[in-house]
């Protein structure tokens, strides 16, 4: 496919999500419309009210019900979308596992926001990090453009017959969800063709025949049944296998999309910046990468070999890619915008350090927890992290591996 002409719209991250969903021929959107909901479903409800889409919009009484409605609709074969954030996502917790266990490819956008208490719905990644083991694919976008692109890709990835897993597209609350940017959008028919119609893997039903996995009176099947200790474990192993397969599918869908849009984000899993010859590097997720890249440009001009590895796909985690990308660096600072209380640092730190354990070179890895509850992270603070890394490389060791950015002592 050839690269296509695109128009540029001024959209904030939420509107970019809604615009992409509008173009993806979604059958059902179920959502809870009040705080901590964002503009995403507000825009979608407008598209529905204006007759711009043929989508059934269901307002539910809670996020738990919203995801339950999406799951049920998805199991009938409908393309399904919802959005949430913060406490709303936390309330979905039970149904997140049911959705992934039922292999329902629901796509959900999350405007990453903090969890109470104290009450705070400003930006941080505590909400999605707390759901990282729920069996959902997690893609973290850096800017509103990537939010748009990722939502379009997410339907293809989630619904791929080899994957069949729900997917979250995560956008930093406020930095992305409420900031207006120029967003290039593909023509409606191009998106419709790219996403295509939903595919269904075949399953063996209780009538002894192979039928598409969806609720269909012509091919009755039992979905969401009980599984005793003699079978439950096997189904969980299948979900893990689907995650492994998703690594390749995410790459393929990303590359195919890059050809028509002209936009790419590394290999779709990891997005490296100035990393080939870097001596020191940071690792982060989401919008912070934009600030880090600006700081790297300054440092490079000063002769500092600084680099960045942005993890775009956190679930499934591209472990080998992380190892290969970072093993030649001398010191790595992993930035976490959430906490794992009582653990040794944040979740991203755990994963990156774990990936590097199998490397013979094993660079020094330190953790920087930052930006909780919407606290700003400035270029000066990022500079200070690289300065720390330079000192760590000089000394060859580190006494305090877990540090806090912009925290008052």
Return d(Cα 249, Cα 387) in angstroms, integer.
Answer: 38
Interface pattern 136-165 for other proteins (x via CB under 8 A)? ----------------------------x-
Nearer to other proteins, 200 or 350 (CB): 200
Of 180, 235, 244, 407, the one binding other proteins (CB under 8 A) is: 235
Query: Which residues share a beta bridge with 184?
Result: 8
CB of 222 to other proteins, least distance (A): 4
Stretch that binds other proteins, among 173-181, 185-193, 221-229, 289-297 (CB under 8 A): 221-229
CB 45 within 8 A of CB 34: no
CB of 343 to other proteins, least distance (A): 30
CB of 221 to other proteins, least distance (A): 5
Nearer to other proteins, 13 or 105 (CB): 105
Of 51, 118, 217, 225, the one binding other proteins (CB under 8 A) is: 225
Structure tokens at 126: 């505590």
Nearer to other proteins, 209 or 324 (CB): 209
Nearer to other proteins, 75 or 171 (CB): 75
Of 203, 258, 384, 393, the one binding other proteins (CB under 8 A) is: 203
Of 205, 264, 291, 381, the one binding other proteins (CB under 8 A) is: 205
**Residue 314 CA: distances (Å) to CA of 169, 172, 223, 250, 356:** 11, 14, 29, 12, 16
Using rule CB under 8 A, residue 221 touches other proteins: yes
Of 2, 51, 117, 206, the one binding other proteins (CB under 8 A) is: 206
Return d(Cα 374, Cα 69) in angstroms, integer.
Answer: 31
Of 94, 241, 358, 391, the one binding other proteins (CB under 8 A) is: 241
Nearer to other proteins, 220 or 379 (CB): 220
Number of residues counted as binding other proteins (CB under 8 A): 28
CB of 206 to other proteins, least distance (A): 5
Stretch that binds other proteins, among 191-199, 223-231, 264-272, 295-303 (CB under 8 A): 223-231
Of 10, 187, 189, 237, the one binding other proteins (CB under 8 A) is: 237
Of 101, 135, 266, 321, the one binding other proteins (CB under 8 A) is: 101
Interface pattern 159-198 for other proteins (x via CB under 8 A)? -----x----------------------------------
Using rule CB under 8 A, residue 276 touches other proteins: no
CB of 323 to other proteins, least distance (A): 27
Backbone angles phi, psi at 39, to 5 degrees: -70, -15
3-class DSSP string for the chain = CCCCCCEEEEEEHHHHHHHHHHHCCCCEEEECCCCCCCHHHHHHHHHHHCCCCCCEEEECCCHHHHHHHHHHHHHCCCCEEEEECHHHHHHCHHHHHHHHHCCCCCEEEEEECCCCCCCCCCCCCHHHHCCCCCCCEEEECCCHHHHHHHHHHHHHHHHCCCCCCCEEEEEECCCCCCCEEEEEECCHHHHHHHHCCCCCCEEECCCCCEEECCCCCCCCCCCCCCCCCCCHHHHHHHHHHHHHHHHHHHHHHHHHHHHHHCCCCCCCCEEEECCCCCCEEEEECCCHHHHHHHHHHHHHHCCCCEEEEEECEEECCCHHHHHHHHCCCCEEEEEECCCCCCCCCCHHHHHHHHHHHCCCCCCEEEEEECCHHHCCCCHHHHHHHHHHHHHHHHHCCCCCCEEECCCCC
Using rule CB under 8 A, residue 76 touches other proteins: no
Using rule CB under 8 A, residue 218 touches other proteins: no
Stretch that binds other proteins, among 50-58, 204-212, 293-301, 338-346 (CB under 8 A): 204-212
Question: Helices 188-195 and 232-261 sit at what angle, rounded to 10 degrees?
Answer: 150
Using rule CB under 8 A, residue 212 touches other proteins: no
Using rule CB under 8 A, residue 244 touches other proteins: no
Using rule CB under 8 A, residue 294 touches other proteins: no
CB 314 within 8 A of CB 283: no
Q: Which residues bind other proteins (CB under 8 A)?
A: 101-104, 164, 201, 203-208, 213, 221-225, 227, 230-231, 233-235, 237-238, 241-242
């Amino acid at each position: 496919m050839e690269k296509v002409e695109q128009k540029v719209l001024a959209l904030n991250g939420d509107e970019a999500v809604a615009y992409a969903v509008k173009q993806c021929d979604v059958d059902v959107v179920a959502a809870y419309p009040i705080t901590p909901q964002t503009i995403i479903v507000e825009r979608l409800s407008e598209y529905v009210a204006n007759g711009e889409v043929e989508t059934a919009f269901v307002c539910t009484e809670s996020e738990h019900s919203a995801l339950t409605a999406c799951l049920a609709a998805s199991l009938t074969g409908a393309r399904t979308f919802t959005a949430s954030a913060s406490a709303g996502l936390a309330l979905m917790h039970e149904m997140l596992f049911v959705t992934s266990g039922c292999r329902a490819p629901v796509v959900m956008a999350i405007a990453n926001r903090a969890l109470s208490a104290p009450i705070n719905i400003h930006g941080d990644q505590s909400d999605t990090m707390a759901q990282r083991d729920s069996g959902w694919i997690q893609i973290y976008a850096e800017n509103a453009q990537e939010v748009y692109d990722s939502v379009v890709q997410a339907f293809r990835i989630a619904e791929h017959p080899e994957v069949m897993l729900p997917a979250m597209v995560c956008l930093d609350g406020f930095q992305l969800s409420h900031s207006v940017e120029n967003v290039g959008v593909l023509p409606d028919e191009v998106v419709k063709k790219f996403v295509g119609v939903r595919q269904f893997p075949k399953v063996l039903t209780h009538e002894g025949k192979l039928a598409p996995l969806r609720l269909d009176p012509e091919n009755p099947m039992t979905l969401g049944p009980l599984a005793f200790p003699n079978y439950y474990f096997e189904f969980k192993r299948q979900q893990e296998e689907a995650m492994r397969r998703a690594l390749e599918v995410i790459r393929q869908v990303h590359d195919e999309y890059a050809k028509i849009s002209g936009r790419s984000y590394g290999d779709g899993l990891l997005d490296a910046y100035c990393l080939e010859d870097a001596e020191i590097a940071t690792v982060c997720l989401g919008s912070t990468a934009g600030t880090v890249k600006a700081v790297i440009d300054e440092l490079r001009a000063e002769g500092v070999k600084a680099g960045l590895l942005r993890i775009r796909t956190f679930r499934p985690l591209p472990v080998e890619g992380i190892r290969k990308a970072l093993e030649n660096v001398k010191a790595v600072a992993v930035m976490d915008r959430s906490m794992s209380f009582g653990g040794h640092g944040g979740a991203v730190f755990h994963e990156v350090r774990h990936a590097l354990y199998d490397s013979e070179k094993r660079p020094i890895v330190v953790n920087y927890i930052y930006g909780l509850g919407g606290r700003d992270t400035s270029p000066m603070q990022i500079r200070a992290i690289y300065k720390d890394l330079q000192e760590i490389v000089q000394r060859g060791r580190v006494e305090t591996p877990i540090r806090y950015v912009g925290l008052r002592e």
